[in-house]
């Protein structure tokens, strides 16, 4: 049987009433129990805490609709106060030129704080009662006004901030790149130094093969027991001094000089080397006759007066401090000082490098001699140098100064009182590599004694950088005669911009610098000037694949 609609409605009403009665009963039990627990507990205001709790619970259910609006206004004010503080801090960090920006943001932050701390607004935040809408509206208007001002100031400052940030980032990037560049330069300079001072395998091979030949046939190459050829001491001939431990380079100097000489048989070459390379040099210079030129090959050790009791350099080499300076440097220490790195090369205290200061004693019967480095190439007949009037000067050399460059000040320590008192910092420097010496004037001026005096003073390396050029500038100060620049063109070992016209007109070209012509790092445009005088037809040179 199907229930009628009236009957169904009656059932629903009955069920609802039962449910309502159950809820009412539960509430009565709750409040009765709550009242029982807090019976006779009265607060200082005379109101029962139990009833106060009930009252507040009811108020919580009836929250003021203006409360969320007040919280929102307060949050906006606090957010913009913090934003102004943040911009003020950022402006200080960026060190903006105008402190006005920092002041403006600091004042904005204080304005927000002062606003919410006004008595009429403080009451709004602390009161649990009804919120006065007129006061709330006034607060809202003031907050909006300050927010508008803050955003306007931030908008104006933002571009400046962005620019400052970009500048700072750019500075950081430049600093970082600079650090990397400095490090790369130091490593590059050290690598370049290693490449420049290392002996190529093929060059070492030639020396070894020549020495092997010397050992196999001693009778062909030894000069022991033979009388000195009169030409070697004849002052009427043209004498050259070449000091080298590079057998190929020395042979190129002699080759180029004899091939360009008008009367090569009148030219005498005094080749000086060390004991280790003596055998190879002897073989090299006896394999051909060099157009009739006279060649003497000797070792430093053959001159007995060159010992540590007479030569300051040899005595200084026995110093523990100097040995430590040269021979105990690690890679990380060597690359710290790129300026002085090259001067840590032991060659600067090599006796072979200092022999140039003993020419009058080594060649006591000669009046004049031409000193040549082993990295030069002779392109013209040089006998014209012997016709130059030296005006009583000792050293004939090409000056290198131009403008403020290559003056004495760049080679010596003019903060030292001895240097400052003796020399003019603006005096023009000159070049070693091709130097014409009047040995009679040298003896008269006692230049070797002058050299000894200054070399002894500089044992602690405080007067000048190491090397023979500062010593030469000191020793021959005021006794040097400038030569025409076409006699000696320098820079083929480091300067790619030298004109071919200048090179063509030069009597001697000098491969001074790290890019020596016998190295792989030589400049290709200049290398043929040197390589055309290498004796590639010699079997020793071919066997070692030199120049390939």
Say which range, 85-99, 248-262, 267-281, has the weakest mean pLDDT: 85-99
- Per-residue pLDDT band for 119 (boundaries 50, 70, 90) equals confident
How would you class 542 by CB atoms within 10 Å of its CB: exposed for 0-12, middle for 13-18, buried for 19 or more?
middle
Q: Considering only 127-131, 244-248, 353-357, 413-417, which range has the smallest mean pLDDT?
A: 127-131
| Residue with the larger pLDDT of the pair 95 and 136 | 136
Coarse DSSP helix, strand, coil percentages of the chain, rounded to the nearest 5 percent: 60, 10, 30
**CB-CB contact of 102 with 96 (8 Å):** yes
Unique residue bearing structure tokens 């240097």: 419
Nearest partner of 194 among 79, 37, 331, 293, judged by Cα: 331
> Given CA atoms 337, 342, 347, 353 in this order, what sign does their dihedral have?
negative
The mean pLDDT of 333-355, rounded to a whole number, is 62
Rounded mean pLDDT, 81-105: 71
Digit-coded pLDDT (tens) for 24-67? 555 544 444 444 444 444 444 444 444 444 444 444 445 667 78
Cβ-Cβ contacts under 8 Å for 413 (sequence gap 6 or more): 419, 462, 463, 464
Alpha-carbon gap, residue 259 to 199, rounded angstroms: 27
Torsion of the alpha carbons at 181, 186, 191 and 196, rounded to the nearest 10: 120
Assess whether pLDDT exceeds 80 at residue 196: no
Residue by residue, DSSP assigns 63-99 as --TTHHHHHHHHHHHHHHHHHHHHHHHHHHHHT-S-T
The torsion angles phi and psi of 215, rounded to 5 degrees, stand at -70, -35
- pLDDT digit string, tens, across residues 449-504: 999 999 999 988 899 977 889 999 999 999 999 999 999 999 999 999 999 999 99
Kindly tell me if the per-residue pLDDT of 158 is higher than 80: no
347: pLDDT confidence band, cut at 50, 70 and 90?
Answer: low
- If one counts every other C-beta atom within 10 angstroms of the C-beta of residue 432, the result is 19
* Dist CA 510 CA 513 (whole Å): 9
- The Cα–Cα gap between 6 and 355 comes to 137
Q: Are 286 and 220 contacting, i.e. CB atoms less than 8 angstroms apart?
A: yes
Query: What's the confidence (pLDDT) of residue 98?
Result: 53
Give the residue from 327, 196, 265, 288 showing the smallest Cα distance to 536: 288
The pLDDT, as a whole number, for residue 329 is 55
Residues making up the chain, counted from first to last:
548
Tokens at residue 367, please?
């009046």
Alpha-helix runs per DSSP H in 198-298? 201-216, 218-221, 247-260, 275-284
Q: Are 261 and 383 in contact (CB under 8 A)?
A: yes
Contact between residue 487 and residue 385 where contact means Cβ atoms under 8 Å apart: yes
SS (H, E, C) 234-253: CCCCEEEEEECCCHHHHHHH
**435, 395 Cβ separation under 8 angstroms:** yes
Task: Quote the crossing angle between the two packed helices 133-197 and 119-126, to the nearest 10°.
Answer: 90
State both tokens at 127.
């009161």
Per DSSP (E only), the strands in 291-444 are: 294-299, 368-372, 376-378, 395-397, 434-438
Answer yes or no: pTM beyond 0.75: no
CA distance 401 to 479: 17
pLDDT value at position 135? 82
Q: Which residues contact 329 (CB under 8 A, 6 or more apart)?
A: 344
Residue 45's pLDDT is what?
A: 44
Confidence of residue 261 (pLDDT cuts 50, 70, 90): very high
Q: Of the given ranges (2-11, 221-230, 432-441), which has the lowest mean pLDDT?
A: 2-11
| pLDDT score of 364 | 96
pLDDT tier for residue 327 given thresholds of 50, 70 and 90: low
DSSP string of 382-420, one letter each residue: -GGGGGS--TT-SEEE-B--BTTBSBGGGTB-TTSHHHH
- Which bin fits 523, alpha (ψ -120 to 50), beta or left (φ > 0)? beta
Q: Which residues touch 390 (CB under 8 Å, ≥6 apart)?
A: 396, 436, 438, 441, 481
φ, ψ at 371 (rounded to 5°)? -90, 130
Q: Give CA–CA dist 535/426, Å, rounded.
A: 44
Share of the chain above pLDDT 70, in %: 79
């Amino acid at each position: 049987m199907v229930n009628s609609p009236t009957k169904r409605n009656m059932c629903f009403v009955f069920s609802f009433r039962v449910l309502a009665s159950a809820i009412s009963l539960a509430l009565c039990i709750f409040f009765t129990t709550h009242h029982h627990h807090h019976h006779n507990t009265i607060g200082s205001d005379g109101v029962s805490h139990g009833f106060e709790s009930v009252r507040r619970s009811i108020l919580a259910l009836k929250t003021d609709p203006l409360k969320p609006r007040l919280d929102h206004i307060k949050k906006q004010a606090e957010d913009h106060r913090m934003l102004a503080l943040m911009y003020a801090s950022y402006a200080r960090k960026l060190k903006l030129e105008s402190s006005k920006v920092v002041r403006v943001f600091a004042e904005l932050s204080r304005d927000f704080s002062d606003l919410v701390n006004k008595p009429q607004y403080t009451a709004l935040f602390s009161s649990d009662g009804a919120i006065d809408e007129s006061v709330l509206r006034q607060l809202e208007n003031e907050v909006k006004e300050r927010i508008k001002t803050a955003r306007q100031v931030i908008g104006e400052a933002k571009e400046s901030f962005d620019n400052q940030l970009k500048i700072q980032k750019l500075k950081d990037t430049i600093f970082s790149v600079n650090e990397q560049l400095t490090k790369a330069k130091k490593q590059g300079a050290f690598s370049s130094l290693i490449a420049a001072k290392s002996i190529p395998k093929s060059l070492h091979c030639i020396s070894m093969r020549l020495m092997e030949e010397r050992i196999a046939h001693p009778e062909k190459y030894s000069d022991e027991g033979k009388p000195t050829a009169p030409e070697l001491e004849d002052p009427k001939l043209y004498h050259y001094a070449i000091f080298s431990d590079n057998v190929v380079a020395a042979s190129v100097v002699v080759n180029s000089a004899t091939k360009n000489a008008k009367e090569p048989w009148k030219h005498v070459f005094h080749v000086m080397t060390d004991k280790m390379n003596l055998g190879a040099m002897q073989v090299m210079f006896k394999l051909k006759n060099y157009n009739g030129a006279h060649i003497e090959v000797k070792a430093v050790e053959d001159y007995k007066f060159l010992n540590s009791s007479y030569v300051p350099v040899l005595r200084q080499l026995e110093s523990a401090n100097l040995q430590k300076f040269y021979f105990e440097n690690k890679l990380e220490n060597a690359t710290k000082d790129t300026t002085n790195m090259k001067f840590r090369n032991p060659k600067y205290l090599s006796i072979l490098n200092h022999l140039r200061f003993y020419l009058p004693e080594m060649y006591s019967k000669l009046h004049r001699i031409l000193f040549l480095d082993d990295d030069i190439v002779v392109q013209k007949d040089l006998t014209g140098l012997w016709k130059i009037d030296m005006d009583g000067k000792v050293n004939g050399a090409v000056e290198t100064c131009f403008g403020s460059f290559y003056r004495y000040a760049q080679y010596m320590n003019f903060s030292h009182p001895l240097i400052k008192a003796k020399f003019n910092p603006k005096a023009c420097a000159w070049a070693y590599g091709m130097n014409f010496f009047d040995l009679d004037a040298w003896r008269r001026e006692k230049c070797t004694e002058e050299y000894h005096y200054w070399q002894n003073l500089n044992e602690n390396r405080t007067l000048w950088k190491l090397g023979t050029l500062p010593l030469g500038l000191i020793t021959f100060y005021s006794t040097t005669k400038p030569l025409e620049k076409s006699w000696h063109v320098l820079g083929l070992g480091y300067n790619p911009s030298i004109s071919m016209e200048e090179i063509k007109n030069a009597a001697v070209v000098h491969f001074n610098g790290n890019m020596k012509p016998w190295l792989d790092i030589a400049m290709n445009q200049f290398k043929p000037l040197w390589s055309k005088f290498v004796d590639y037809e010699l079997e020793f040179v071919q066997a070692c694949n030199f120049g390939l």
